[in-house]
Amino acid sequence: MGLTHIPIMTFPKSLEIISLQNNKLQEIPEILAELKNLKSLNLSYNNINTLPVFLSKMDPLNGGSLINLSLRGNPIDLKDKEKLYSLLPSVNIVF
């Protein structure tokens, strides 16, 4: 089955790791960019095909704390992958 979206909820601000792999998510919710302590985000094997600009807020160079982002197994095209590297230059990204 799997999640098609993240339910509206408040995440603890101290949250450091989120694993939402093997779902049916189609987009990355903006609420994740508000988690200033988030270091690892696993969104592997979903249906995400677009990457929002707000992700740049998650890069340590812009005040975020994200170190690892896994998007393995998502239908993201090459152009968007290249864009993501420019949005998150200091984040380890796995496709």
pTM over 0.85: yes
Q: Which residues are CB-contacts of 94 (< 8 A; sequence separation ≥ 6)?
A: 44, 68, 69, 70, 71, 72
How far apart are the C-alpha atoms of 36 and 34, rounded to whole Å? 6
* pLDDT tens by residue, the chain, 95 residues: 788 988 877 789 899 999 999 999 999 988 899 999 999 999 999 999 989 999 999 999 999 999 999 999 999 999 999 999 999 999 999 99
